[in-house]
Amino acid sequence: MKLNTKRFFILFWFVTFSIGAQDGTKLIAWKPIPEASGYQIQIKEKSGKTVIDKKIDTAYHSIEELPSGVYQVRTAPLNLFKKPAVWSAWKDLEVIISEPPKVVIEEQKPIILPKSESKVEKSISNVTIEGEHFLEATKVDLTKKNETLPILSKEVKSPERIDLKVDTTDAKSGPYDLTVTNPYQKPKVISNFVQVEDPKHNTTDADGNEEPQNKGSKKSKINLPKGKLFRDYTYEEMLAFLETDVAVNCKNTKIPALTLSECHKTYVILNFSSEDNHSVFEFYKLINENESDRVSAYQYFSKNCSPRFRPAFERMELEWKNRNNLDPDERQSLLQDLTKFRNCPR
């Protein structure tokens, strides 16, 4: 006999009611009042239409036939004349059907999540989970042994898709398992769903061509060039510069000291006295974890591309190489602006 794996799951906000959600028993319950001669319960849709209005003898009521959806509920104890003594406030109630989650496994599993080699730059990756029966209440974890990847945000786009933003800045490299759990259901575990990889120490020439180092060689410390314009720095040199260019007297911000004119408790004044200063600030936005900042920086460098600001060009080429980690909208913006950047006359 096939088991029915569907469960009703009921959410309350700021409610003293409790819920029974066992097989065959879907109840809404509240604390009994000894002096009550019964209770009256009212449940209405968000539109205001009343779907349940009953006088009952018990401090619970079946919602077996209540369809999934968003409702409001209130109750009142009845006096000796079977009249409501006092009504509770209306409370939000959501009824959803919880089923075992399903996950579509890609052929290219595991999904590669790169780490940044810079202490300045955070490593934030976008991960899309596709499957079935996803809910707002669905819990998602990426783990291995005692390690858990920080999930900065989870957005349920539809019952078939969940989008995550994952922070791999301090993560240990290696494979991580995906665990997806719906309320009152067994967790769905996908082994080796993602893999965190340390950065590959490649260098990039001025035209964006990759020059791999010998496999056995160790990455040497990057020395900041003297007398070199910022626009001629490599991507790695600019990251190294930002690590040293800390605003010691302005601890409330991580904005490069070079680009600061004044520092106050709640705001700063930027110093764009030269084009290089402005470009360094836009590069800082380019490696920021905020998507809007990155998109703004793409647009800046595509418009101010002559002379070419080399570290930004190399960074945007690297972003395009790892474009699967970007949201579709950001990917499209990057493509448009990088194309302009590439074709900009020098």
Domain boundaries, the chain: 7-98, 102-197, 202-342
Taking only the tens of pLDDT, the chain with its 346 residues reads 444 555 555 444 333 444 444 444 567 888 888 889 999 999 999 899 999 999 999 988 888 788 888 899 999 999 999 999 999 999 988 787 778 899 988 666 788 888 776 666 678 888 889 999 998 888 999 999 889 999 999 999 898 999 999 998 888 999 999 999 988 789 999 999 999 988 765 544 444 454 444 444 444 556 777 888 889 999 989 988 888 888 877 877 888 888 888 888 788 899 888 888 899 999 999 988 888 999 999 999 999 998 999 999 999 998 898 887 788 889 999 999 999 999 988 7
pLDDT of residue 122: 77
**CB burial string 268-289: b at 16+ within 10 A, e below:** beebeeeeebbbbbbbbbbbbe
| Answer CATH for 7-98 from 2.60.40.10, 3.40.1410.10, 1.10.340.30, 3.40.50.150 | 2.60.40.10
Tell me if 54 sits within 8 A of 43, measured CB to CB: no
pLDDT at 4: 52
Q: How far apart are the C-alpha atoms of 319 and 58, rounded to whole Å? A: 62
Local structure of residue 29 (DSSP, 8 states):
E
**pTM score above 0.85:** no
- From residue 321, how far is each of 159, 202, 254, 309 by CA, in Å? 30, 13, 27, 19
Is the fold of 7-98 the same as that of 102-197?
yes
Which superfamily is assigned to 102-197 in CATH? Immunoglobulins (2.60.40.10)
Query: C-alpha distances in angstroms, 100 versus 19, 49, 133, 166, 297?
Result: 20, 32, 7, 24, 42
